[in-house]
Amino acid sequence: MALVDNGVKVSFTGLIPSNATTQVVTEFTDFEYTRDITISVLKATVENADKGVTFDNVIDEATIGIKKQVSDIMGADYDDVAKTVTYYTEYKRVNNNMVANLTSEFYSNVANSYTCTLTVFIKTT
């Protein structure tokens, strides 16, 4: 099996720092499957004083970023020695896991994470 990652397309507006790196993605319209995923990226691992660097790290960080987590999911779920699996990821929304209201765990010891909503477009050959 070969996994081919065609990149991450950022499809939301706002919350994108002006100095964030433009992501290179090769989209395709002949996908066979889509998969909606919500992942968490630990803020302490990716944060930087520069907002653009933090945004890029959410996508690119080698141990917990979007690309790494999606790659791990694809390798685990689409393991087919006879086919090449090509995919790209659409990054649709970002939020965090800390909600300030009377019933939340806002002041608990829960680590702050970015919650990323994604759709993965997949095709095989």
pLDDT tens profile 45-82: 999 999 999 999 999 998 899 999 999 999 898 877 78
DSSP 90-109: EEEEEEES---STTS-TTSS
DSSP H/E element including 12:
none
Between residues 96 and 49, the one the model is more confident about:
49
Among residues 88, 91, 86, which one has the least CA distance to residue 58? 91
What is the distance between the alpha carbons of residues 5 and 40, in angstroms, rounded to a whole number?
A: 20
What is the residue extent of each domain of the chain?
Answer: 2-124
pTM strictly above 0.75: yes
Confidence of residue 99 (pLDDT cuts 50, 70, 90): low
